[in-house]
Amino acid sequence: MLTRRQVLAGSVLAAGAASTLVSARFASGQAAAVPAATPAPTAAPAPAPAAGPFTLPKLPYAFDALEPHIDAQTMMIHHDKHHATYVNKLNDAVAGKPELAGKSVEQLVGDLAAVPEAVRNAVRNHGGGHANHSLFWQIMAPGAPSRPSGELAKAIDKTFGSYDKLAEQMTASAASVFGSGWAWLSLAKDKTLGLETTPNQDNPWMAGKTPLLGIDVWEHAYYLKYQNRRPDYIAAWLKVVNWDFVSAEYKKALGA
Ligand code: MN3
């Protein structure tokens, strides 16, 4: 079994050449005075297309769409590099295993016991990363309504007291994650709402739950803009949550 340090070292090595390029671009951007009309960053050449069943979903908006809350450079690296790497390494892990390749990523991470031990850790980390980020892009949107609606709004009031109380508790929860991980609002099998945190790329699917909302608190999600100020990132992220999407997903999950 790989230690977390080994896993991290592996990702750093794999990300090698590409992240050096990105860092250089970023560093030079910081050194020079940025003219007002700086064009939005465009994607660096994409990694070689994944050979395998899992694919990187397209970001449903432009890299700079969530500015000023989440910056374009962070979105570009996060989606095109970090998420792409999870997809590629998940494809490596399921290569030659049709019984795994035929499942959805949520099914895979929801039943890790069914994954052969030799690749279980890789599926947990990279499958978790693929599932988590695929949800993460969808639960954010530019100009989205800032409050839950319909049945979800009622359930939040019933469970947490109010939206403001939920936001407060989710903020505390996300701030409390030690190191890399996520904070979630999820639906348990008994259809109750709850908050939880997970380390690394673990998620509520792994505990038989349905995540509705998740905030990525790995430093790669905020460090370029917010550095050590994770609470500022959490507050900014709450402003771009796509509650229309989350409310609709809640309705679907209730019916499931
Ligand atoms: Mn991430």
Q: pTM of whole model > 0.75? A: yes
As a three-state string, the secondary structure of 165-210 is HHHHHHHHHHHHCCCCEEEEEEECCCCCEEEEEEECCCCHHHHCCE
Q: What is the mean pLDDT of the chain?
A: 86
- Spacing, Cα 58 to ligand 1 middle (Å): 15
Decide if 189 contacts 208 (C-beta within 8 A): yes
- Spacing, Cα 78 to ligand 1 middle (Å): 6
Sign (positive/negative) of CA torsion 252, 249, 220, 45? positive
- Spacing, Cα 66 to ligand 1 middle (Å): 16
- Spacing, Cα 82 to ligand 1 middle (Å): 7
Decide if 221 contacts 240 (C-beta within 8 A): no
- Spacing, Cα 127 to ligand 1 middle (Å): 13
Give the pLDDT mean for 22-38.
Answer: 41
- Spacing, Cα 156 to ligand 1 middle (Å): 26
- Spacing, Cα 59 to ligand 1 middle (Å): 14
Higher-scoring residue by pLDDT: 123, 4: 123
Decide if 185 contacts 166 (C-beta within 8 A): yes
Q: pLDDT-based confidence at 30, cuts 50/70/90?
A: very low
- Each residue's pLDDT tens digit, 198-241: 999 999 999 999 999 999 999 999 999 999 999 999 999 999 99
- Each residue's pLDDT tens digit, 36-93: 455 555 555 555 555 789 999 999 999 999 999 999 999 999 999 999 999 999 999 9
